[in-house]
């Protein structure tokens, strides 16, 4: 599922997600639980302010974000 992500840009552009929108719902990233990098994408497992965990993928070639997985908190 493609999503809209607002990112924090510090040392580099799009360093980490700060919030994301699923349709009309906007969720704030409360914690980055894990992150890993592949040649084509960056992955972030985050806990949002709704208490759930989400796996977000940033496709570097397309510069697009998608929701890969959701876990109840």
pLDDT surpasses 80 at 36? yes
Three-state DSSP class for 25?
Answer: strand
pLDDT exceeds cutoff 90 at 10: no
Range of the domain at 31: 2-71
For residue 20, give the nearest of 47, 60, 41, 59 by alpha carbon.
47
Res 44: pLDDT: 97
Q: Structurally, how many domains does the chain consist of?
A: 1
- Whole-number Å distance between alpha carbons of 10 and 31: 17
Measured between its terminal Cα atoms, the distance across the chain in Å is 20
**Residue 52 pLDDT grade (very low, low, confident, very high; cuts 50, 70, 90):** very high
Residue-level pLDDT at 66: 95
Confidence (pLDDT) at 14 = 73
């Amino acid at each position: 599922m493609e999503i809209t992500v607002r990112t924090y840009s510090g040392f580099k552009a799009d360093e980490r997600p700060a919030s994301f929108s699923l349709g009309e719902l906007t969720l704030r990233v409360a914690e980055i639980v894990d992150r890993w990098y592949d040649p084509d994408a960056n992955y972030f497992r985050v806990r949002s302010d709704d208490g759930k965990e989400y796996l977000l993928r940033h496709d570097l070639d397309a510069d697009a974000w998608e929701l890969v997985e959701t876990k109840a908190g």
